[in-house]
Amino acid sequence: DGGITQSPKYLFRKEGQNVTLSCEQNLNHDAMYWYRQDPGQGLRLIYYSQIVNDFQKGDIAEGYSVSREKKESFPLTVTSAQKNPTAFYLCASSISESTDTQYFGPGTRLTVL
């Protein structure tokens, strides 16, 4: 079964802690993306990566970091520098950066206690 998996589905963290969200795809897609979703605001782009070992900041990269060591994996770390990290995080992928359609994973809901 091809697709994008994100884990965990729900994540709780204490203030001041870093936390890493997982995103894996077996679609053989080159490009991967991380979005943050807040109620009433749609989706905002955090980071994207078009190839292994390369990534760029999106609109709201502050307080986040990523890595792209393997084509199928694009983990997102929410650092303690992120002022308001409680949100729903969505990972997406596409065949290449220039391809029209992005496909989304099921998301991870992060709550900071």
Partner 1 sequence: AQSVTQLDSQVPVFEEAPVELRCNYSSSVSVYLFWYVQYPNQGLQLLLKYLSGSTLVKGINGFEAEFNKSQTSFHLRKPSVHISDTAEYFCAVRLRNDYKLSFGAGTTVTVRA
Residues recorded for the chain: 113
Is 75 a binding residue for partner 1 by CB under 8 A? The answer is: no
Is 80 a binding residue for partner 1 by CB under 8 A? The answer is: no
Is 86 a binding residue for partner 1 by CB under 8 A? The answer is: no
Q: Looking at beta carbons only, is 19 or 90 nearer to partner 1?
A: 90
Tell how strand 64-66 and strand 76-78 pair up.
Answer: antiparallel
Shortest Å distance, C-beta 38 to partner 1 = 10
Tell how strand 10-13 and strand 108-112 pair up.
Answer: parallel
21, 90, 110, 112: which one contacts partner 1 (CB under 8 A)? Answer: 90
Is 2 a binding residue for partner 1 by CB under 8 A? The answer is: no
Return d(Cα 74, Cα 62) in angstroms, integer: 17
Q: Which two tokens stand for residue 53?
A: 């070992």
Tell how strand 10-13 and strand 87-94 pair up.
Answer: unpaired
* Contacts to partner 1 by CB under 8 A: 4, 6, 9, 31, 40-45, 48, 50, 58, 90, 92, 97-98, 100-107, 109
